[in-house]
Amino acid sequence: MSAGQFVAWFRSVAPYVNLFRGKTFLIAFGGKAIAGQLARTLAYDVNLLAALGVRLVLVHGARPQIEKLMRERGLQSVYHGNYRITDAKAIACVIDAVGSIYVEIEALLSQGLADTPMANSTIRVVGGNFITAKPVGVVDGVDLQYSGQVRKLDAEGIRAQLGLGNIVLLSCIGSSPTGEIFNLAMEEVAEAVATSLLVDKLIFLSDSRGATDIDGALLDELTVEAAERLISLGDWLSTDLKRYLPCAVRASRAGVGRVHLIGYDEDGTLLRELFTHDGVGTVITQKSLEQMHDAGPDDIGGLVALIEPLEEDGTLVRRSRELLEREITRFSVVEHDGVIVGCAALYPYGEDQAELACLAVHPHYRRWGYGALLMKRIETQARAAGVKRLFVLTTATSQWFKERGFSVRPIDELPAEKRLVYNLQRRSIVLMKEL
C-alpha cells in the first residue's frame, strides 16, 4: 500500500470510529471459532474495538469441545431438535469444556507482547453470574434434563461493567436459583443478552460467510421479513446459520439495531464487516438499509460529498453549494445505511418538457441498480407533473441512457431556455425520451 493509499484508507475509517464510540456490540461465536487458527487474530480485533471506545459483550459456545470430551469419556452425544440431551455425565463434560474455553479466551485477550497489535493494551475481562437459567424440561415426551434456557438476565450488572470499560465475557451455561447448572444454547444466550441490553449490533461469527441464496451467492442485507422467508426455505444454509437466523430475526424485531452474520474462517472479517461500506457478510435490519426520498436541507452535505469527485473529473457540471441549497427540492436521493449514495434532479422547462440532471451514484453502489431506480423515480415525478418529454445531457454515459429508452437528438430540439445555456465546450450529447 502506498503512502497515499494508506492515508485515504485511514481517513475512510474515521466516520465509523466516530459512529461506534460508546456503542454496545455483542459478538457471539461457537467453539469452532475458538478452536480455529484465527482465534488469536480475532482477539486482536476485539482489542482494537475496545480501544476505539466500543462497549463489548462476548458470548461463546463450546459444542465441539464438549463433543471431544464426551468421546474421550466414552459417552455418546444425543440430540432432540436443537438441544443436547444433557444428563449428569454430559453436564460434567459441559462444565469442563466451557471452563477451559473461558480461560483460553481470557488468555487471548490478555496478550500484550511488544510485537503484537495488543501491545500497551489494558483490557479487563469480567464474567459473573449474570445469567439465571431454567430447564427446557420435557419436549415431545423427551426429558432434556440439564439442557436449559435463559430465565433471567442481570442487565444492570452487565451495563455497570461496560460503563467501567470492561469487556463482559459470558458462557453458554447458567445456574438456577436452586444452584443447578444448565447447558444453554450459545445463540439463545446471545439473543437474550442482546435484546435485554438493546445492543447497537449483534454479531454472529459462523461457519458461513453470511446468508446465501440457493446458488451460493451472498445476500448482503436482509429485512426481518426476508430473513424469515429464508429460514422457511433455506435447506441449503449451513448448520450455524440454521441455528443463528431465528435468533437474529427475533433480536431484530425486539429492537436490536443491526444483526450481522459473518464468517470466522477468514482473517479480519470482523473489521471488514464493520469498517467498510460493502462489508463481507449479511446484515439483518427491521427496515431496508436502502431509503429513497426527496432531498432536504439536511442532505446538502451528503450531496456535496457524492458529486464533488464527479465534478472534478468532468462527468458532472459544477454546482456551487449555494446553488444546491436553492435547488435542493428538485433533488431525489437514495441512502444506504444512512449515507447518501445516489442522487438525481428534475428541472421542468415549459409545460411538457423536463431535464433529468445530476444523476450520480457512488462507485461502490453502482452494481446495486440505484441509477435505474433514481431514473424511474424521476420519470414518475415527471409524468405526475404532466411532462411529455424527458431529456438529459451527458458526456460519458450516453450508452447507459440509450439502453433505457433514450435516443440521441440534435441540440436544436432542446427547449429554447436550455439552448441559451448549452456549453459548446463540453459538447454534451443530448438524449431524449418520450413519456
pLDDT grade for 54, boundaries at 50, 70 and 90: very high
CATH 3.40.630.30 positions along the chain are 291-434
Please name the amino acid found at residue 131.
I
pLDDT in tens, 356-379: 999 999 988 887 788 999 999 999
Residues of the chain above pLDDT 70, percent: 98
- What was the pLDDT predicted at 114? 61
- What was the pLDDT predicted at 23? 96
Unique residue bearing C-alpha cell 435547488: 327
- Nearest Cα neighbor of 365 from 308, 271, 291, 312 is 291
Residue 276 has pLDDT above 90, yes or no: no
Asked if 194 and 168 touch (Cβ cutoff 8 Å), the reply is no
- State the Cα–Cα distance between residues 93 and 77, nearest whole angstrom: 11
pLDDT in tens, 126-184: 999 999 999 999 999 999 999 999 999 999 999 999 999 999 999 999 999 999 999 99
- What was the pLDDT predicted at 122? 75
Mean pLDDT of 257-280: 91
- State the Cα–Cα distance between residues 173 and 422, nearest whole angstrom: 72
- What was the pLDDT predicted at 350? 79
State whether CATH 2.40.30.10 applies to domain 291-434: no
Residue 205 has pLDDT above 70, yes or no: yes
- State the Cα–Cα distance between residues 2 and 362, nearest whole angstrom: 23
Residues 6+ apart with CB under 8 A from 6: none
Mean pLDDT of 113-123: 69
pLDDT in tens, 221-250: 899 999 999 999 889 999 999 999 999 999
User: How many CB atoms neighbour CB 170 within 10 A?
Assistant: 25
- What was the pLDDT predicted at 421? 83
CATH 3.40.1160.10 positions along the chain are 3-287
- Show the cell assigned to 88: 449428569
- State the Cα–Cα distance between residues 130 and 109, nearest whole angstrom: 20
Residue 288 has pLDDT above 80, yes or no: no
pLDDT in tens, 63-117: 999 999 999 999 999 999 888 999 999 999 999 999 999 999 999 888 776 666 6
Q: Pick 3-287's CATH classification: 1.10.10.10, 3.40.1160.10, 3.20.20.370, 1.20.1050.10.
A: 3.40.1160.10
